[in-house]
């Protein structure tokens, strides 16, 4: 009888210990906070080779910082209300940035997308006397290593260009301009000392590229603001 009681006591003790372990395990599973890295195993963490490194930018309240981009600005986003930013009057590629209040303590950020499909990001902090008041962003082609950008960095696509890369469009236009070949003759107009000539038509990936030349031999100098083209039906 004593042996039977001992066996029953041991069995009850083991069952109680198992129940406590299960309860403790459940509490640990349900109450442990997320580390922020794996999100309970449902997603993968972003690694540093996926990151586009930001530039460092200092701003102040009494002075304006100007950032000159190699192409027209299409999009600007400010990280907080501590910053003020707008395109400089009469320009498309110059961004002016300054502090909205004196000596803000929290670091903010700034993102810019330009017309050529490039993406720029800045970490912005306050400084009484910023060293760099005028900044020129270099126009370069990155290879992923030489300029400390990831190999999988992508260009920003514009809806006007469809599925074509803005960077590739820019390179094609530069190539046409550099070669300066005249593939088409006798299409143009000349009047009052101004000659307008169509030198070539090229196509790539569903886009048409028109090589145009404008000469001014009149006594009135002028700058060309823009040129518009429209299809015309000829009967």
Helices and strands in the chain: count of H runs, count of E runs = 2, 11
Please tell me the class of the 51-156 domain. mainly beta
Distance CA(70)–CA(99), nearest Å, equals: 24
pTM of the predicted structure, to 2 decimals = 0.54
User: Phi/psi of residue 75, each to 5°?
Assistant: -155, 135
What is the model's pLDDT at position 120?
Answer: 92
Give 170-189 pLDDT, tens digit per residue. Answer: 888 989 989 888 888 888 88
User: Phi/psi of residue 112, each to 5°?
Assistant: -135, 135
- Calculate the average pLDDT of the chain: 78
Look at residue 140 and tell me whether its pLDDT is greater than 70: no
Q: Provide the residue ranges of all domains of the chain, joining segments of one domain with +.
A: 51-156, 162-216
Pair 109, 79: CB distance under 8 Å = yes
**DSSP class per residue in 23-68:** HHHHHHHHHPPP-SSSGGGTSPPPPGGG--PPEEEEE-SSS-EEEE
Give 189-217 pLDDT, tens digit per residue. Answer: 888 888 889 999 998 888 888 898 888 88
Distance CA(30)–CA(42), nearest Å, equals: 16
The contacts of residue 123 (CB under 8 Å, 6+ apart) are: 54, 55, 56, 57, 107, 108, 109
């Amino acid at each position: 009888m004593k042996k039977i009681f001992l066996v029953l006591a041991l069995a009850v003790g083991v069952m109680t210990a198992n129940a406590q372990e299960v309860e403790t395990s459940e509490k640990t599973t349900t109450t442990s906070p997320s580390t922020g890295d794996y999100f309970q195993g449902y997603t993968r963490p972003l690694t540093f080779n996926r990151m586009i490194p930001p530039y460092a930018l200092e701003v102040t309240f009494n002075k304006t910082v100007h950032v000159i981009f190699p192409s027209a600005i299409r999009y600007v986003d400010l990280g907080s209300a501590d910053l003020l930013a707008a395109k400089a009057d009469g320009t498309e590629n110059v961004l002016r940035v300054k502090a909205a209040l004196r000596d803000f303590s929290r670091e903010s950020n700034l993102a810019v997308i330009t017309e050529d499909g490039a993406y720029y990001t800045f970490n912005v902090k306050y400084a009484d006397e910023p060293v760099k008041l005028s900044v020129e962003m270099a126009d370069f082609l990155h290879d992923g290593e030489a300029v400390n950008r990831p190999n999988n960095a992508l260009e920003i696509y514009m809806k006007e260009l469809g599925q074509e890369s803005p960077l590739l469009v820019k390179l094609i236009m530069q190539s046409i301009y550099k070669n300066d070949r005249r593939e088409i003759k006798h299409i143009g107009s000349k009047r009052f000392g101004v000659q307008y000539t169509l030198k070539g038509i090229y196509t790539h990936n569903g886009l048409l590229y028109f090589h145009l030349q404008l000469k001014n031999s009149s006594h009135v100098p002028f700058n060309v603001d823009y040129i518009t083209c429209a299809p015309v039906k000829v009967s």
